[in-house]
Amino acid sequence: MRSGVGFLTRLPVHNREGDWAAFRSRPAVFPLAGLIVGALAAIPLLASEVLPGPTVAFGYVLAVYAVTGIHHLDGVADLGDALVVHGDQERRREVLKDTTTGVGAILAVAIVVVGLALAGLGLAGLPAIVAVTIAIGAEVGAKLGMAAMACFGEASHDGMAKQVTDAASPGQFILPAGLILGACAIIWPHPAAVAVCGALAGLWPPWYWANRTLEGINGDVFGAANELGRVVGAHAGVIAWMLL
């Protein structure tokens, strides 16, 4: 758990020898870390009934990246450049490793951050407790999606993603998925449950694109899936509150 929190957040966690190996072999840690991240990032939403909506939304975005850092957002930038570049598979892989920031990266990051801010604005208009549960649900769902990628994904090359996918197995997804999706079924159609499912759906576009274009996933795909899943999950939760 220490390595999971250390890897997925900016929280000051002291990692010990063997923590990374333990984290890679326990994909259930992903959604547990998501629970912590979601709870901390949702703190500004508690002020939704006393502060202006835009202020609360801005606080939510700041809290998300204060807790998680920007290394996953870097995956969004890299995939944005790889998505728009002209060329074959090898050319796209080169762009993923390139440190130059292109227009595709800027646009992709802008879409994700603006999408998160608008989701935060929607959350700011809800009762505080509902907003908090949606934010937590979106984070847990996004991290459950990362666990799915670890258990079922194939890495495109040696690197962080391969270390994770090689250490995890499909069977290890059963317990966290069963507990989380079972809880969602019990409380359905609560917006938090919809947020979890929306976040899971949000990870599919980068995963599908990577499998078709890169013949597998890498660390950037993990990061992009996490960021997109959070945004989709938060919006899904807000929509569910309005419609269901």
Residue 217: strand, helix, or coil: strand
3-state helix vs strand vs coil in the chain, percent to 5: 80, 0, 20
Residue 21, CA atoms < 13 Å, CB-side half-sphere: 3
Q: What is the pLDDT of residues 159-171, one digit of tens each?
A: 777 888 877 788 8
- Total Cβ atoms within 10 A of residue 213: 16
pTM, entire model: 0.91
Asked if residue 136 lies in contact with residue 191, where contact means CB atoms within 8 angstroms, the answer is: no
Pair 173, 147: CB distance under 8 Å: yes
Q: How many domains does the chain have?
A: 1
Which two structure tokens, joined as six digits, stand for 34?
């998501």
The mean pLDDT value of the chain amounts to 86
Phi, then psi, of 169 in degrees rounded to 5: -130, 155
57-115 confidence digits (pLDDT tens): 999 999 999 999 888 888 888 778 777 676 666 666 666 666 667 788 899 999 999 99
Torsion angle (degrees, nearest 10) of CA 235, 109, 201, 122: 0
Q: Which domain holds residue 201?
A: 2-243
pLDDT digits (tens, 9 = 90+) for 114-139: 999 999 999 999 999 999 999 999 99
Distance, in Å, from the CA atom of 231 to the CA atom of 235, rounded to the nearest integer, reads: 6
H or E element that contains 160: helix 160-167
The dihedral region occupied by 26, where left means phi > 0, alpha psi between -120 and 50, and beta the remainder, is beta
Residue 102 Cα to chain centre, angstroms: 23
Instruction: Tell the residue number behind the tokens 């629970």, with chain if given.
Output: 35
